[in-house]
């Protein structure tokens, strides 16, 4: 963390009201806050449910809040009350972007309806993040990351041969949707510069997971050949790859493409495999992965991880040690890239958080503020930004509006 005044605030003229919870929305707004946007996290009086969701820090609050609410300010507001909606209207006059992920039929989503709010502020941009999109038969369903992975076939791709579906623990549908929503907001802001008009950014976990599965050709393969490729285990989707055991650990090997395959064959002193019809291209190598395993498995088991990697690196065959989280934290490349930012919280101590990404050469982002406590910036926003009096603030707090 650096001093607030030293940060490059390339997005400092953008104000975002963040009503989102859990992963996708908070990650989206974290990315923008890291680049200087004034992101105001809006919670119901008493705090959001996501403060107690997932892995908990020693103070009883979720690590995810401390990570994704960094660089944000925090206020409380009951938007379902009449006075709360009036305050929302006042905030709307000073807001560029709203982000929320309330389910379609919820009372909160009806208050935060884009068509209604854009009449008050035609320049408003809203990122609406849902499980399955804002239309269609599943529009009103609740969802988390695994919902989208389950629907798109991704869990079957992870399955071991002959086994049932397997989950991928990293929530790429959630976090990927956060990235795409942030991208959509930036595109909408650019459009607004040219037209003066805002728009709705409609992002969903299903959209993201579908795009990722489609991007590797899984759906194209089915559409052209009727083939459903699944239960791959540790083997590759389009060519040979595998996680292999060495004497003292595991490596993942990725001999993608014919050039790299030829280099691997020469290293193994098996040049006959270069012209063998079973291995003539990526597709054939994928089909015959078990035959290649019969050669690769004993070769790796006879060597240490370092020995395997040194040999493969020497002929430029991509491979890497399969690290634990502890290995990752201590990896010299991770340290050189400064991929971990240590944050110091009262009552918690120091803990690891993601660094600010992407790394920009002229206007890098930074972490300048810890995640807010519940309603920490009520006075700053309501008294300062909206010019309410202390008496107003006290009355609103007493009534449970803020």
> Structural domain boundaries of the chain?
4-212+336-398, 242-327
Quote the CA–CA distance of 398 and 12 in Å, as a whole number: 33
Domain 242-327 is of which CATH architecture? Answer: 2-Layer Sandwich (3.30)
Helix (H) or strand (E) holding 16: strand 15-18
The pLDDT of residue 2 is: 62
**133 secondary structure, DSSP code:** -
pLDDT at 114 over 70: yes
pLDDT at 1 over 90: no
Global pTM reads 0.93
Rg value, the chain, Cα: 25
The pLDDT of residue 197 is: 98
Q: Do the two domains 4-212+336-398 and 242-327 of this chain adopt the same fold?
A: no
Quote the CA–CA distance of 148 and 152 in Å, as a whole number: 6
Band (pLDDT 50/70/90 cuts) for residue 6 is very low
Mean of the per-residue pLDDT values for the chain?
95
The pLDDT of residue 281 is: 97
Compute the C-alpha angle 82/88/89, nearest 5°. Answer: 95
The pLDDT of residue 8 is: 60
In which region does residue 235 sit, left (phi positive, over 0), alpha (psi from -120 to 50) or beta (all else)?
beta
The pLDDT tens digits of the residues spanning 56-83 come to 999 999 999 999 999 999 999 999 999 9
Q: Could you tell me if 114 and 128 are in contact, meaning their C-beta atoms sit under 8 angstroms apart?
A: yes
Average pLDDT value for residue range 243-249: 98
The pLDDT tens digits of the residues spanning 195-220 come to 999 999 999 999 999 999 999 999 99
> What SS3 class is residue 187?
helix
Quote the CA–CA distance of 28 and 38 in Å, as a whole number: 13
Average pLDDT value for residue range 282-293: 96
Q: Could you tell me if 75 and 42 are in contact, meaning their C-beta atoms sit under 8 angstroms apart?
A: yes
The CA-based diameter of the chain, rounded to the nearest angstrom, is: 85
Q: How far does CA 378 lie from the centroid of its chain?
A: 28
- Extract the tokens encoding 63: 């690590």
The count of residues in the chain is 402
CA count, 13 A, side-chain hemisphere, 275: 2
The pLDDT of residue 221 is: 93
How many helices and strands, by DSSP H and E, does the chain display?
A: 19, 11
Average pLDDT value for residue range 101-117: 95
The pLDDT tens digits of the residues spanning 13-36 come to 999 999 999 999 999 999 999 999
Torsion over CA: 298, 304, 309, 314 (sign)? negative
- E strands, 64-132, are 73-76, 97-100, 125-130
> What SS3 class is residue 324?
coil
Is 4-212+336-398 a CATH 3.30.465.10 domain?
A: no
Band (pLDDT 50/70/90 cuts) for residue 229 is confident
Torsion over CA: 278, 284, 285, 289 (sign)? negative
Q: Count CB-CB contacts under 10 A for residue 252.
A: 14
- Rounded to 5 degrees, φ, ψ at 313 are -60, -35
Band (pLDDT 50/70/90 cuts) for residue 230 is confident
pLDDT at 7 over 60: no
Q: Which residues pair with 200 in a beta bridge?
A: 126
The pLDDT tens digits of the residues spanning 339-362 come to 999 999 998 999 999 999 999 999
The pLDDT tens digits of the residues spanning 141-190 come to 999 999 999 999 999 998 998 899 999 899 999 999 999 999 999 999 99
Say what percent of the chain tops pLDDT 70: 98
Query: Is 174 tagged catalytic?
Result: yes
Q: Which residues pair with 201 in a beta bridge?
A: 127
Quote the CA–CA distance of 119 and 134 in Å, as a whole number: 19
Among candidate residues 96, 174, 207, 366, the one labeled active-site is 174
């Amino acid at each position: 963390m650096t001093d607030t005044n030293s940060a490059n605030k390339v997005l400092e003229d953008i104000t975002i009201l963040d009503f989102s919870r859990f992963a996708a929305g908070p990650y989206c707004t974290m990315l923008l806050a890291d680049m200087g946007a004034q992101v105001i996290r809006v919670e119901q009086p008493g705090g959001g449910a996501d403060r107690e969701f997932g892995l908990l820090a020693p103070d009883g609050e979720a690590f995810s809040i401390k990570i994704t609410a960094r660089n944000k300010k925090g206020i409380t507001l009951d938007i379902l009350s009449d006075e709360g909606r009036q305050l929302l209207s006042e905030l709307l006059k000073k807001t560029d972007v709203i982000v929320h992920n309330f389910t379609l039929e919820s009372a909160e989503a009806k208050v935060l309806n884009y068509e209604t709010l854009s009449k008050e502020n035609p320049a408003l941009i809203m990122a609406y993040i849902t499980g399955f999109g804002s239309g269609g038969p599943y529009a009103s369903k609740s969802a988390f990351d695994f919902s989208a992975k389950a629907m798109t076939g991704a869990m079957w791709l992870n399955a071991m041969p002959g086994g049932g579906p397997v989950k991928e623990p990293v929530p790429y549908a959630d976090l990927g949707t956060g990235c795409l929503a942030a991208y959509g907001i930036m595109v909408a802001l650019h459009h607004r510069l040219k037209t003066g008009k805002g728009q709705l950014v409609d992002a969903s976990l299903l959209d993201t997971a579908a795009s990722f599965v489609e991007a590797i050709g899984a759906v194209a393969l089915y559409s052209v050949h009727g083939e459903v490729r699944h239960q791959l285990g540790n083997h590759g989707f389009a060519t040979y790859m595998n996680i292999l055991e060495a004497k003292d650990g595991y490596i993942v090997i990725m001999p993608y493409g014919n050039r790299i395959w030829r280099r691997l064959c020469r290293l193994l002193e098996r040049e006959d495999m270069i012209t063998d019809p079973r291995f003539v291209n990526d597709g054939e190598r994928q089909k015959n992965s078990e035959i290649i395993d019969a050669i690769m498995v004993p070769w790796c088991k006879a060597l240490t991880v370092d020995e395997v990697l040194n040999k493969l690196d020497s002929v430029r065959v991509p491979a890497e040690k399969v690290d634990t989280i502890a290995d990752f934290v201590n990896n010299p490349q991770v340290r050189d890239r400064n991929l971990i930012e240590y944050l110091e919280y009262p009552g918690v101590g120091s803990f690891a958080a993601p660094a600010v990404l992407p790394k920009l050469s002229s206007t890098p982002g930074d972490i300048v503020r810890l995640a807010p406590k519940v309603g920490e910036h009520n006075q700053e926003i309501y008294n300062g930004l909206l010019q309410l009096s202390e008496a107003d603030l006290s009355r609103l707090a007493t009534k449970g509006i803020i």
